[in-house]
Amino acid sequence: MDPFESIKQTFFQECDELLTDAEQGLLAMEAGDADGETINAVFRAVHSVKGGAGAFGLEDLIRFAHVFETVMDDLRSGKMELTDEVAKTLLRAIDVLADHVAAARDGGAVDEGRSAPILSEMKALIGGEGLDDDDLGGDEDFGFVPMTVAIEGDDAPAFDPPALDESPAAFEPMADLAAEPASGARVWRIGFAPKSEMYAKANESGLVLRELARLGEMDVKLDADALPPLDQLSAETAYLHWTVLLTTEADEATIREVFEFVEDDCVLTIEPADGQASPPPPSSDLSDDALAAASADAPLDIAALLARVAGEAPTSEAAREPASAPEPPADLDVAALIAKAQAPIAPAAPKVEAAPVAKAAPPAGSSQAITPTATIRVDLDRVDRLINAVGELVIQQAMLSQQVMESGLARSSNVALGLEDLELLTREIQDSVMAIRAQPVKSVFQRMPRLAREVADMTGKRVKLVMEGEGTEVDKTVIERLTDPITHMLRNAIDHGLEDPEGRIAAGKPAEGVVRLRALHRGGRIVIELQDDGRGINRPRVRGIAVERGLISEDAVLSDEEIDNLIFQPGFSTAETISDISGRGVGMDVVRRSIQGLGGRITISSEPGKGSKFTMSLPLTLAVLDGMVVTAAEQTLVAPLSAIIESLTPRAEDVHFVGGKDAVIRIRETFVPLIDVGVALGFRETALPPGQGVAVLVESEGGGKAALLVEAIQGQRQVVIKSLEANYQQIDGIAAATILGDGRVALILDVDALVTTQHRRKPAPRAEKRMAG
Amino acid sequence: MSMIDTLSHTAGARRELIAFRIGDQEFCVDIMQVREIRGWTACTPLPRTPSYMKGVINLRGAVLPIVDLGARLGLATTEPTARHVIMVVSVGGRTLGLLVEAVSDIINMSDDMVQPTPDVACDQVKTFVKGLFAIDGRMVSLISLDRVLPETEAEAA
């Protein structure tokens, strides 16, 4: 991949993380439990997005982020008060900012109808101070612009030092330097002129300056006079010098310590500059985060420069060569940028540390930033390979144990004992490996506040989303498929569950509805609950619709719970009832289908006038399955336990035939189809005679019940799911395969397909057609 | 590495084939496609599959479909015994097992030795047999494995 493209990708990845952090900070601000650090964190997140966007020339994003940043800046400097209204505006703004990032990444455009109002709202908050778009060019983040002019020419481009000199506003004095000098602080003038040897030893001036910044407030001036024209530039030579005015309480020795590793390879002068009459002139149009800019923007400038060179002047060999091998400081800065981009945890850290120090007057001690847990990013394929290998290890180990047992070795023999240890170890490895892929449901949950806000806006309702248990972990494959059902249910809860504010007040409830989203572990499964305090399910209405649609007969006796669960029936809801129905039920069959597709179940409990609660229970991983091992037509098969309701021994008198050879079985008072698995799969011609075998009552994803007739049940087992499609293809009636302890392949039944096939002649609800198609 | 590359380049048309027997006929496939050769083990039959699909076996944790190559080529259906072998081959990113009677030879030959399949053959044979050649007085058919699995039919359906 083009290295810039990959840096850009990393930037967008980082953006996602930054936006998430910012949103959480804003939510805390809205909830009123935000301190200065929260506001600072949001500010820095937005600033980083803007800074990165500047490097890639993403104009729309920059413009929006810039206004956002200014609002945050006013907030943290106390110029603006954090009101509920401000927090709400900012929350909407972060959504739009996310849209801008997405648009920049995917090459779309942001809906101006959404973006513009928020933008003007924010501008109104800050009183529109100096935020004309023209301003952006002079902003400290975009100092790279003049440099590109210098290098763009096709004819032997001169690397024009004056241009460089003028451009980086970042290196100009900070706005609030010396405004409030810390008591006992002295001003030091530090001359720092790295020699080429310093860079040769992989030291970086930017890092040294950043380190210096921790000691106090500083003003950095770049001296680039020594920089020759581009065609005379030697990639190995150091040209840049810096003069730093540092206001600090630290003594000379402490300052010198910063240069400890580079002192021999640079010309260093440290002298008190207290005598200086006037402090450096404050520059009004600067963000006071110039410090972060000083350390972070230099690399971005170089990156932008390189991007321009690569993109716009590819014909000029002269231009390209120096660009790809810039002079040492640039090179190292780019390296720093890449390193920053590739290590997502570390990158924010320097800025996180630097910025508060710059603001807070007491310079010492406050640089202790949060040390994040060390993490690495790993290609998912590698993890999957490991998981597969461990799955095989588990099977192999089980086979070995079985063979040793069969060989008649004593349980106390060394081999048997060793095998036991091996088994423990294997299980531990398996658990650890599964834990690698386990992720907190946070990644799904964190999208929900935004959705809640949007749906509430659209429906004119007021809602507060309370989330719990975001840290609950579940396999990545499950996580990926949780988003849709939760989104769907949340939308339903707000749209159909909650009343509008007037209706709520009339019902004696607070105008703001509460929706609770909760995740927890229970019995080796993950349970996700979505509860609202709305009007609950209107049972007479639901019942009426079900009768109307022929789902139940008019005189059917149903418990409240059964009525509630009617909303999951395919065909219960159709487009014309969406706005009509005073309850829920929009596409709930789809939700149920996707949950069951994950081997899970969903139930609802509802109390009229008080609200409803949906409970989903899902397996923690899709790599293993709890199955019932059965025998049919001499084949060993596995039925997913999640589909099984009960198993029973059918009596001959309970089995009846409808028409030719379609059997039904009476289970208590209902008749359900009796499907001989051996026949259904084509393993044998004729079904077991009535009264033989075992019937397993299952419920298909569509909610239809059927009894699967097998010869015997061998027991329950957790099995590792193996794909049939990997080397073969999908087979109707078979969901996947697994390998049992004896090393043989067993097929896992696709209960839904078996039941649906049997129902094919019935008037098929749409859902079944979708299944077949 | 580079030496091997050069060799295979200069040799160009030369290649190695694995020859095997089904009934009284001899066939061969490119040796590069063959991953391993193993003894016959019992299969788990798959429902609703063509008769030449013997089923699946466990190959170190992977589910490996087994094709009765004789039946696939339109010869007699094989009744596997312990002396039969499974050639594990990789075709188009998939791995599958071919049930054959025995592996007979490794043949070193060049492409110009291959004669096109004569017109006498029926369509089913032509689908799989890319060409014929003679070696030591025997006739060997060169097989293409691209369409051994019934997937093109299934995908069309």
Distances (CA, A) of A428 to A385, A420, A521: 17, 12, 20
Which residues of chain B have a CB within 8 Å of the CB of A678?
Answer: none
Rounded Cα distance between A141 and A56, Å, is 12
**Which two tokens mark B143?**
């097989």
How many CB pairs below 8 A link A and B?
77
Which residues of chain B have a CB within 8 Å of the CB of A389?
Answer: 61
Distances (CA, A) of A152 to A304, A319, A328, B46: 12, 8, 21, 66
Interface test with A, best of B44, B52, B88, B145 (most A CBs within 10 A): B44
Q: Which residue among B42, B45, B154 places its CB closest to the CB of A729?
A: B154
Distances (CA, A) of A200 to A298, A324, A722, B134: 20, 17, 53, 67
Interface test with B, best of A402, A426, A635, A745 (most B CBs within 10 A): A745
| Beta pairing, strands B85-91 & B94-100 | antiparallel
Output the pLDDT for position B56.
94
Rounded Cα distance between A187 and A275, Å, is 9
Interface test with A, best of B56, B96, B155 (most A CBs within 10 A): B56
Q: Ramachandran region of residue A471, left (φ > 0), alpha (ψ -120 to 50) or beta?
A: alpha
- Measured between CA atoms, the residue of chain A closest to residue B97 is A727
Helices and strands (DSSP H and E) totals, chain A: 28, 22
- Measured between CA atoms, the residue of chain A closest to residue B155 is A729
Contact A731 B46 (CB under 8 A): yes
Which residues of chain B have a CB within 8 Å of the CB of A624?
Answer: none
Q: Does the beta carbon of A742 lie under 8 angstroms from any beta carbon of chain B?
A: no
Q: Does the beta carbon of A12 lie under 8 angstroms from any beta carbon of chain B?
A: no
Looking at this protein, which amino acid is placed at residue A517? L
Q: Does the beta carbon of B9 lie under 8 angstroms from any beta carbon of chain A?
A: no
- Measured between CA atoms, the residue of chain A closest to residue B45 is A635
Radius of gyration of chain A from its Cα atoms, rounded to whole angstroms: 34
Helix or strand or coil: residue A153? Answer: coil
Cβ atoms of A650 and A693 within 8 Å: the answer is yes
Q: Which residue among B63, B154, B155 places its CB closest to the CB of A745?
A: B63
**Which two tokens mark A572?**
């219960």
- Taking residue A230's Cβ as centre, other Cβ atoms within 10 Å add up to 21
Distance between A734 CA and the closest CA of chain B, angstroms: 8
Q: Does the beta carbon of B42 lie under 8 angstroms from any beta carbon of chain A?
A: yes
Q: Which residue among A681, A723, A745 places its CB closest to the CB of B47?
A: A681
Q: Does the beta carbon of A737 lie under 8 angstroms from any beta carbon of chain B?
A: yes
Q: What is the DSSP string of A369-433?
A: ---PPP-----HHHHHHHHHHHHHHHHHHHHHHHHHHHTT--TTSHHHHHHHHHHHHHHHHHHHH
Helix or strand or coil: residue B136? Answer: coil
Output the pLDDT for position A317.
43
Q: Does the beta carbon of A213 lie under 8 angstroms from any beta carbon of chain B?
A: no
Spatial strand order in the sheet of A266-272: A216-223, A241-248, A186-194, A266-272
Helix or strand or coil: residue B96? Answer: strand
Q: Does the beta carbon of B94 lie under 8 angstroms from any beta carbon of chain A?
A: yes
Contact B61 A388 (CB under 8 A): yes
Q: What do you get for the CA distance between the two ends of chain A, in Å?
A: 38
Spell out the residues 6+ positions from residue A724 whose beta carbon is closer than 8 angstroms to its own: A730, A731, A734, A736, A737, B56, B63
Contact B94 A747 (CB under 8 A): no
- Angle formed at CA A397 by CA A746 and CA B56, multiple of 5 degrees: 25
Distance between B102 CA and the closest CA of chain A, angstroms: 23
Q: Which residue among A682, A723, A743 places its CB closest to the CB of B48?
A: A682
- Measured between CA atoms, the residue of chain A closest to residue B94 is A727
Burial status of residue A439 (CB atoms within 10 A of its CB: 0-12, 13-18, 19 or more): middle
Contact B44 A745 (CB under 8 A): yes
Which residues of chain A have a CB within 8 Å of the CB of B40?
Answer: none
Q: Does the beta carbon of A745 lie under 8 angstroms from any beta carbon of chain B?
A: yes
Output the pLDDT for position A173.
43
Regions of chain A where pLDDT drops below 70: 1-2, 128-184, 274-373, 523-524, 571, 573-586, 660, 701-703, 757-773
Helix or strand or coil: residue A172? Answer: coil
Q: Does the beta carbon of A722 lie under 8 angstroms from any beta carbon of chain B?
A: yes
Q: What confidence tier does B10 reach under pLDDT thresholds 50, 70, 90? A: very low
DSSP classification of residue A142: G
- Taking residue A342's Cβ as centre, other Cβ atoms within 10 Å add up to 13
Looking at this protein, which amino acid is placed at residue A315? T
Contact A724 B63 (CB under 8 A): yes
Which residues of chain A have a CB within 8 Å of the CB of B148?
Answer: none
- Taking residue A522's Cβ as centre, other Cβ atoms within 10 Å add up to 9
Rounded Cα distance between A141 and A144, Å, is 8
Rounded Cα distance between A101 and A111, Å, is 13
Largest CA distance in chain A: 109
Helix or strand or coil: residue B10? Answer: helix
Rounded Cα distance between A182 and A45, Å, is 27
Contact A732 B48 (CB under 8 A): yes
Q: Which residue among A727, A733, A743 places its CB closest to the CB of B62?
A: A727
Contact A728 B96 (CB under 8 A): yes
Burial status of residue A232 (CB atoms within 10 A of its CB: 0-12, 13-18, 19 or more): exposed
Which residues of chain A have a CB within 8 Å of the CB of B156?
Answer: none
DSSP classification of residue B115: E
Which residues of chain A have a CB within 8 Å of the CB of B149?
Answer: 728-729
Q: Does the beta carbon of B88 lie under 8 angstroms from any beta carbon of chain A?
A: no
Which residues of chain B have a CB within 8 Å of the CB of A744?
Answer: 42, 44, 57-58
Task: Please give the average per-residue pLDDT across B119-132, as a whole number.
Answer: 76
Cβ atoms of A15 and A49 within 8 Å: the answer is yes
Spell out the residues 6+ positions from residue A193 whose beta carbon is closer than 8 angstroms to its own: A238, A241, A242, A266, A267, A268
Contact B46 A734 (CB under 8 A): yes
pLDDT digits (tens, 9 = 90+) for B56-70: 998 887 899 999 998
Rounded Cα distance between A702 and A751, Å, is 11
Contact A728 B65 (CB under 8 A): yes
Matching residue, tokens 């850009």:
A8
Which residues of chain B have a CB within 8 Å of the CB of A734?
Answer: 46-47
Q: Does the beta carbon of B90 lie under 8 angstroms from any beta carbon of chain A?
A: no
Distance between B122 CA and the closest CA of chain A, angstroms: 26
Cβ atoms of A710 and B8 within 8 Å: the answer is no
Q: What is the DSSP string of A449-474?
A: HHHHHHHHHHHT--EEEEEE-TT-EE
Spell out the residues 6+ positions from residue A766 whose beta carbon is closer than 8 angstroms to its own: A570, A571
- Taking residue A713's Cβ as centre, other Cβ atoms within 10 Å add up to 15
Identify which has the larger pLDDT, B8 or A594: A594
DSSP classification of residue A94: H
Helix or strand or coil: residue A629? Answer: strand
Contact A682 B47 (CB under 8 A): yes
Contact A731 B56 (CB under 8 A): no
**Which two tokens mark A681?**
């799969």
Which residues of chain A have a CB within 8 Å of the CB of B60?
Answer: 392
Cβ atoms of A65 and A53 within 8 Å: the answer is yes
Spell out the residues 6+ positions from residue A31 whose beta carbon is closer than 8 angstroms to its own: none
Distance between A681 CA and the closest CA of chain B, angstroms: 5
Distance between B150 CA and the closest CA of chain A, angstroms: 9
Query: Which phi and psi (to 5°) does residue A364 adopt?
Result: -90, 150
Looking at this protein, which amino acid is placed at residue A230? L
Output the pLDDT for position A284.
43
Radius of gyration of chain B from its Cα atoms, rounded to whole angstroms: 16
Cβ atoms of A61 and A109 within 8 Å: the answer is no
Helix or strand or coil: residue A646? Answer: strand
Q: Using alpha carbons, select from A483, A461, A463 the residue that is nearest to residue A474.
A: A483
Which residues of chain A have a CB within 8 Å of the CB of B96?
Answer: 727-728
Matching residue, tokens 């110009």:
B112
Cβ atoms of A594 and A571 within 8 Å: the answer is no
Which residues of chain A have a CB within 8 Å of the CB of B47?
Answer: 681-683, 731-734, 747
Output the pLDDT for position A349.
38
| Dihedral, A545, A547, A552, A555 alpha carbons, nearest 10 | 130
Helix or strand or coil: residue A136? Answer: helix
pLDDT digits (tens, 9 = 90+) for B79-109: 888 889 999 999 888 899 999 999 988 988 8
Rounded Cα distance between A518 and A512, Å, is 19
**Which two tokens mark A721?**
């799911």
**CA quadruple A552, A553, A554, A559: dihedral sign:** negative
Matching residue, tokens 């594990």:
B88
Q: Using alpha carbons, select from A543, A546, A545, A513 the residue that is nearest to residue A530.
A: A513
Q: Which residue among B42, B64, B150 places its CB closest to the CB of A727?
A: B64
Distance between B21 CA and the closest CA of chain A, angstroms: 24
Q: Is the ipTM of this complex over 0.85?
A: no
- Measured between CA atoms, the residue of chain A closest to residue B67 is A728
